[in-house]
Amino acid sequence: MRYISLLLFVSVINACATSSEVNTIEGKAVHTVYCSGSAYSWETCNNKASEICGMNKYDVLQKYEDQGAFAAYQSAEELPDRRLIIQCKE
């Protein structure tokens, strides 16, 4: 039972959509949305991007996916690594 709980916890952590923000030289915010893991898809990234930018929508500056590169906790299962780099429209 303990093992199953640990696997569930690791799966949830690996599947979260998170983001980080940096500013360009011009002072404009650029967000990187991370939605790696087998439980989420590009739709998860797009939903997080919409949450960040709200009604302003956003431009996709870069879209990155690497199948099998995100092997967390030395898992036998290789998980997809997805990143969406966006800039909110003004």
pLDDT tens digits, the chain, 90 residues: what are they? Answer: 544 443 344 444 444 689 999 999 999 999 999 998 888 899 999 999 999 999 899 999 999 988 765 455 555 567 788 999 999 998
What pTM did the predictor assign? 0.69
Tokens 């893991």: give the residue: 37
Torsion of CA 67, 89, 54, 40, to 10 degrees: 0
> 29 phi and psi, to 5 degrees?
-80, 135
User: What's the chain's Rg over C-alpha atoms?
Assistant: 15
Beta bridge partners of 46: none
